[in-house]
Amino acid sequence: MAESIAFLHNVEKSYFTAGGTVAALSKVTLEVGHSDYLCLMGPSGSGKTTLLNILGGIDRPSAGEVFIDGQRIDTLPERDLLPIRRTKVAYVFQEARLMPSLTALENVLLPSAFASGDEKQIRERALALLEKVGLEKRAHHLVHQLSGGEAQRVCIARALLNRPALILADEPTGNLDHATRLEIVELLEDIYEEGSSVVMVTHDPELARRARRKITIRDGRIEEQEAARLAIQD
């Protein structure tokens, strides 16, 4: 547990709705190591997003324990949780969630209040990240001038600004064509190779095969866990 960036122990999550109680997660125990690369698969409604949100401290479990980087977080008050979430965890969503009135660079700089370094260094890092995702020429373009794949790459650059140890990606390639999907996954693999951990939800078995670990969730339970060989050099 001390070696893990995230650890769930016997996590349960129920939603209470007018229609009754929905058990979204049942007895989920999962360890994400430092420098781990894990794919999460499972049918729609099986609990993938719920699991990701609990891993990242966005949502709280109904029962069980959640640790980030060795620290128990599910019992922390929101004000103590926020700085952990903002410095250690970053999200990439299915649809690029960017501020339309801002440029690509300004979007990457949005989490900069929590970045280390002075303003100039942070700006240089943001530009370097845009270069890393192949968008240095788009830094000053507004979001609506970008393609879907480019917008998603801006999101990844933004996710990396604070050097998070854990990247959570919820179907990050769901809306993209095949070639662009591969580009996005290769970027996430670079991040993993540089020492962060990546947990990615995907429906694409070809992408899941490339991960170090593959986990399937069904009806809120982890069903199988197989070690897959890394195939990044393919």
CB of 13 to ligand ADP, least distance (A): 8
Q: What is the DSSP string of 1-57?
A: -TTEEEEEEEEEEEEEETTEEEEEEEEEEEEEETT-EEEEE--TTSSHHHHHHHHTT
Between 31 and 95, CB nearer to Mg ion: 95
Count the helix, strand and coil residues of the chain and give each as a percent rounded to the nearest 5: 35, 30, 35
Name residue, tokens 């854990």: 166
Q: Which residues bind ligand ADP (CB under 6 A)?
A: 15, 17, 22, 24, 42, 44-50
Measured CA angle at 181 (ends 107, 128), to 5 deg: 40
CB of 229 to Mg ion, least distance (A): 27
Residue 47 interacts, among ligand ADP, Mg ion, none and using kind-specific CB cut-offs from 5 to 8 Å, with ligand ADP
Both tokens of 136, joined, read 């240095």
Closest CA to 224 of 7, 41, 35: 41
Both tokens of 112, joined, read 């900069």
CB of 78 to ligand ADP, least distance (A): 18
CB of 208 to ligand ADP, least distance (A): 14
Between 51 and 143, CB nearer to Mg ion: 51
Q: Binding to Mg ion (CB under 5 A): which residues in 65-124?
A: none
Sign of CA pseudo-dihedral 31, 93, 189, 126: negative
CB of 209 to ligand ADP, least distance (A): 20
Between 28 and 157, CB nearer to ligand ADP: 28
Quick one: which segment of 41-49, 54-62, 80-88, 139-147 binds Mg ion (CB under 5 A)?
41-49
Between 43 and 70, CB nearer to ligand ADP: 43
Quick one: which segment of 11-19, 42-50, 103-111, 173-181 binds Mg ion (CB under 5 A)?
42-50
Between 48 and 181, CB nearer to Mg ion: 48
Q: Does 49 bind Mg ion (CB under 5 A)?
A: yes
All residues at 6 or more sequence positions from 93 whose CB lies less than 8 Å from its CB, including other chains: 155, 170, 171, 172
Cα–Cα distance measured from residue 133 to residue 125, given in angstroms and rounded to the nearest whole number? 12
Q: Does 50 bind Mg ion (CB under 5 A)?
A: no
Residue 46 interacts, among Mg ion, ligand ADP, none and using kind-specific CB cut-offs from 5 to 8 Å, with ligand ADP
Cα–Cα distance measured from residue 218 to residue 212, given in angstroms and rounded to the nearest whole number? 20
What is the contact surface with Mg ion in residues (CB under 5 A)? 48-49
